[in-house]
Structure 1
Amino acid sequence: MKIKDDFVLRKVADSYVVVPVNSLTLDFNGVINLNETGAFLFEQLQKGIEKDELIAKMISEYDVTKEKASADIDIFINKLKDANVFE
């Protein structure tokens, strides 16, 4: 899975936002607000990694079980799919 290049992650004060750039500004209205964990996952997905590697990275970065990481990643990925941010 890889995030479209026309979405960028920015830190604004203590928040993280994903905004469209280039031609996507015409098709995508608004921003996506993320917490620190969401920003971490988004950055990893920008690199095009798959779910198994994403789970391993989340486990090494945060104090979370494999089952919890997998479930949370599924929810996150589904929300991003709904927002049409994947290539």
Structure 2
Amino acid sequence: MKIKNGFAKREIAGSYIVVPVGKEASEFNGMITLNESGSFFWDCLQNDTTFDDAIKKITSEYDVEKSRAEEDLKKFITMLKENNLLDE
């Protein structure tokens, strides 16, 4: 799975936002705001990866239980799917 092409993460005044670029700008209306962990999840999914590999990256970066990382990543992936931002 990975983030679809046509979307870019930007940092503006300490906040992270995802905006459509190119042809996606006409199909996706709006932007998505990410917190710090959401920004890290986004970065993990920029290249094709598995759920387990993303969890390994998250647990090595943050002091978090694996079960909590899995729960949070599942919620993030659900949000991406709901907004049609994920290639599986």
Aligned partner letter, 2:18: V
5+ residue gaps, structure 2: none
| Residues 14-53 of structure 1 mapped to structure 2, 5 A cutoff | 14-53=14-53
Number of aligned residue pairs: 87
- Normalised by the length of structure 1, the TM-score is 0.96
User: CA offsets, 1:23-65, max 9 Å, x none?
Assistant: 0111100001001110011011011211101111100100100
TM-score scaled by structure 2? 0.95
> 1:49 & 1:9 partners in 2: Cα distance?
18
Structure 2 counterpart SS, 1:46: coil
CA apart distance, 1:86: 1.3
The percentage of counterpart residues that share the same residue type is: 46
The one-letter code sitting in structure 2 at the alignment partner of 1:21 is: V
Moved over 2 A (4+): none
What is the match of residue 83 of structure 2? 83
**Letter paired with 2:11:** K
